[in-house]
Amino acid sequence: MLKLEARPHASAYWSYLSPILAVVLTLITGAILFSSLGEDPLEALYIFFISPVSDWYGISELLVKCIPILLCAYGLSLCYRASVWNIGAEGQLLMGGLIASTMALQFVDSESLWAMPLTMIMGIVGGAAWAGIAAFLKLKMNTNEILVTIMMNYIALNLLVWAVHGPLKDPHGFNFPESALFAESTLLPVLFEGTRLHLGLVFVLLALAVIWVFISKTFLGFQIQVLGLDKSAAKMAGFSQTKLAALVLVVCGGLAGIAGAIEVAGPIGQLVPVISPGYGYAAIIVAFLGRLHPLGITLAGLLMALIYMGGEMAQISLALPSAITGIFQGLILFYLLSCDVLIRYRLRFKSAGLKAVKPIISTQAEGQ
Amino acid sequence: MDMDLITNILYAAIRTGTPLLLVALGEMICEKSGVLNLGQEGMMLLGAVAGFIAVYHTDSFMLGFVIAALSGVLASLIFAFVALNFNATQVATGLALTIFGTGLSAFIGSDYEGKTITALPTIGFETLAGIPLIGKALFAQDAIVYFSWIMVIACYLFFRHHRAGLAVRASGENPDVGSNLGLPVMRIRYCAVMFGGAMAGLAGGYLSIAYTPLWTEGMTAGKGWIALALVVFASWRVERVMLGAYLFGFASIMHLFAQGLGISVSSNLLAILPYAATLLVLIMLSKNSEKLKLFEPMALGKPWHKTK
């Protein structure tokens, strides 16, 4: 029988290997899933994971997809580092998109240079304000942030749907639930001719650099790390837990908000009822898979974008529902959490003959 | 405001509250044993799609509900394996289950999207159902509503008068002590998680077979999450879970009320009500969070495994 044996120290080695093992296991499960659906597993995996990025256009599309995911995931990683369970990136993204759209619609017939920057800023404000409500409720009222942020996701979604059916609906749009098309001056400029890759990529690279420096080089980033690792140590050192938690929530909201603004003023170009296929939820997986490190998150975000594209490709080429993306997302997180057991425990095969041997360290590893 | 409207609102509030009641009861027992399963939404969706497909092909309601509950149990076993055997963070594992269940249910149900079936019939007790105001709400419901009442009584008695109820509570309050006293904590937690899965699956089945007899992707619309808030609201007590579920059911059908009064508000805005109500409840509860801590199972959400 398999038995878990606590390691004396958490294994750094396995904390890097675990995400890789999780991805490999997901691929194996994917192959089994495809063959049970009557597809050739290798060919299906090729269609899912390789064919979407087999040309430059595909790679540019991959980058377009990973932009909102990465912005949300960088923000979420800050929250999770501080042990703040923010599940609300999706709602913050939607709110950012909604508020940005209200601004963008002021510039429908304008060529103002301010149109795009103001739209982006309103996206940040919308997302940060939405997260700010959650921060206020957590810190002043001591409510559970998981449930609060989830509820706010649903509220944001319904607000967006209401706005697009009501006040923001295009008056000349034949009653379709869509806003007017944004003006050229509002849209994010495309970086490379012939692709949809837009300025949002620059925002992602900026965010990557800033978050990396913030976490590893600044005192505030250090405080957040201490808070996440050991609450009582943070308290002893006099770090304000409430201020730090509010900070990470609002920063995450701002990042998710600009992701929403980027989506409406980038690939979509107007406000529609569905502006995100669950990017905010996918970003949770990305943050964990990337070990909360900016670089790891970037790699995981690219993989997640690929899973989204693979789902679309499976729908086109294999006539499978694109919801297969969600299955892969869930699997990857399950496997990651399972593999993470190897960071703190060794797997031992218990046999009758070795029963007398006592493990050296048998204390229970500290839970969270 | 006429009598008929009130009668119908009571009737609808109970029907709307029933899936919440079922999930929340399951989750409550799960939490009592010390396990926080945030995967309710995913298990509900799997139950909804599996139950719907079963009824669609066989026309057997019984089979539909059994399959719905079983698929909830199967899904909960994945959670139990990762969270209990591998000691993974329960919050993240539950989230994984919700994401996985949402994806898998949409995948399985893609050929059935938007299809409908005949709804589960109601069972009326003729003379009793004629009682003004409450008759229809109490005596003209369908079998699952009656079943949910039986479950409420069963859960109440289980915790009040049964040794096993005590064992569940012990493993949620202090698994080390429970284990030292010889309780099979792991097995108890497994059973509690599976019970939660069965109830969530059944609740999902109720949505797709009885409440709105059709399947659409993501049709639970956050009910699994609302149920989690409901358990906290009920401070882990059976009778208050029931009360809370019906209050939320009422909040969810406020638009009927508004229509009856001749108020016209956008249905998209009214759809916010149950979530806003949940938020409000969470805020109100947090005012005496110290007191709430007394009711919360002490080992809730903490990974545990037997050390000796």
Does A361 fall in a domain? Answer: no
- Distance, in Å, from the CA atom of B113 to the CA atom of A266, rounded to the nearest integer, reads 30
For residue B162, report the phi and psi dihedrals to the nearest 5 degrees: -120, 140
- Distance, in Å, from the CA atom of A197 to the CA atom of A216, rounded to the nearest integer, reads 30
A326, closest residue in chain B (CA to CA): B103
Judged by CB atoms closer than 8 Å, whether chains meet at A162 and B229 is answered as no
How confident is the prediction for chain A on average, in pLDDT?
87
> Chain A partners of B100 at a C-beta cutoff of 8 Å?
326-327, 329-331, 333-334
Measure Cα distances from A349 to A233, A241, A354, B277 in Å: 37, 43, 10, 51
Q: Which one, of A191, A210, A322, lies nearest residue A258 by Cα?
A: A210
**Test the A interface: residue of B27, B45, B99 with most A CBs within 10 Å:** B99
Does residue A57 carry a pLDDT above 80?
yes
How confident is the prediction for chain B on average, in pLDDT?
87
A145, closest residue in chain B (CA to CA): B282
Query: Is-contact B103 A325, C-beta < 8 A?
Result: yes
Q: What is the pLDDT of residues B130-153, one digit of tens each?
A: 777 777 777 778 888 899 999 999
- Whichever domain contains A98, its CATH number is 1.10.3470
Q: Which one, of A87, A128, A91, lies nearest residue A255 by Cα?
A: A128
Judged by CB atoms closer than 8 Å, whether chains meet at A143 and B282 is answered as yes
Q: Which two tokens stand for residue A63?
A: 């980058």
Burial per residue of B229-243, b for 16 or more beta-carbon CB atoms within 10 angstroms, e otherwise: bbbbbbbbbbebbbb
Does residue A202 carry a pLDDT above 80?
yes
Q: What is the pLDDT of residues A276-335, one digit of tens each?
A: 999 999 999 999 999 999 999 999 999 999 999 999 988 888 888 888 899 999 999 999
Does A356 fall in a domain? Answer: no
pLDDT at A153: 94
Does A215 fall in a domain? Answer: yes
Domain extent at residue A241: 2-349
Does residue A348 carry a pLDDT above 80?
no
| Three-class DSSP labels, A91-138 | HHHHHHHHHHHHHHHHHCCCCCCCHHHHHHHHHHHHHHHHHHHHHHHH
Q: Which one, of A224, A332, A309, lies nearest residue A50 by Cα?
A: A309
Does A63 fall in a domain? Answer: yes
Alpha-helical segments (H) within A37-88: 41-45, 56-81
Burial of B31 (0-12, 13-18, 19+ CB in 10 A): buried
Q: Which of B88, B92, B229 sits opposite A147 (nearest CB)?
A: B229
Measure Cα distances from B7 to A232, B123, B258 in Å: 55, 17, 15
- Distance, in Å, from the CA atom of B201 to the CA atom of B204, rounded to the nearest integer, reads 5
> Chain B partners of A142 at a C-beta cutoff of 8 Å?
286, 289
> Chain A partners of B97 at a C-beta cutoff of 8 Å?
330, 334
Query: Is-contact B12 B216, C-beta < 8 A?
Result: no
CA A16 to chain centre: 19
The single-letter DSSP state of residue A353 is: G
pTM of the model: 0.90
Does A93 fall in a domain? Answer: yes
Highest mean pLDDT among A280-289, B245-254, B274-283: A280-289
A6 pairs with which residues across the strands?
A345
Does A204 fall in a domain? Answer: yes
Measure Cα distances from B201 to A48, B98, B143, B148, B288 in Å: 31, 13, 16, 13, 33
The single-letter DSSP state of residue A52 is: G
Judged by CB atoms closer than 8 Å, whether chains meet at B88 and A87 is answered as no
**Test the A interface: residue of B185, B231, B268 with most A CBs within 10 Å:** B268
> Chain A partners of B96 at a C-beta cutoff of 8 Å?
285, 330, 333-334, 337
Q: Which of B103, B225, B268 sits opposite A162 (nearest CB)?
A: B268
The reply to whether A361 touches chain B by the CB within 8 Å rule is no
**Test the B interface: residue of A2, A76, A151, A335 with most B CBs within 10 Å:** A151
**Test the B interface: residue of A18, A39, A154, A332 with most B CBs within 10 Å:** A154
Structural domain count of chain A: 1
Does residue B241 carry a pLDDT above 70?
yes
Give residue A87's pLDDT band: very low, low, confident or very high (50, 70, 90): very high
List A residues 304-323 in contact with B (Cβ-Cβ < 8 A).
Answer: 320-321, 323
Q: Which of A146, A326, A363 sits opposite B99 (nearest CB)?
A: A326
Higher pLDDT, A242 or A366: A242
Helices (H) and strands (E) in chain B, counts: 16, 0
Judged by CB atoms closer than 8 Å, whether chains meet at B286 and A368 is answered as no
The single-letter DSSP state of residue A175 is: T
Does residue A103 carry a pLDDT above 70?
yes
pLDDT at B114: 83
Q: In the predicted model, what is the mean pLDDT of residues B161-184?
A: 86
Q: For chain A, what percent of residues have pLDDT higher than 70?
A: 94
ipTM, two decimals, is 0.89
Does A243 fall in a domain? Answer: yes
Query: Is-contact B59 B189, C-beta < 8 A?
Result: no
Does A359 fall in a domain? Answer: no
Please report the domains of chain B, with CATH numbers, ordered by start residue. Answer: 3-114+135-295 (1.10.3470)
Query: Which phi-psi region, left, alpha or beta, contains residue A21 (left: φ > 0; alpha: ψ -120 to 50)?
Result: alpha
> Chain B partners of A326 at a C-beta cutoff of 8 Å?
99-100, 102-104, 106-107
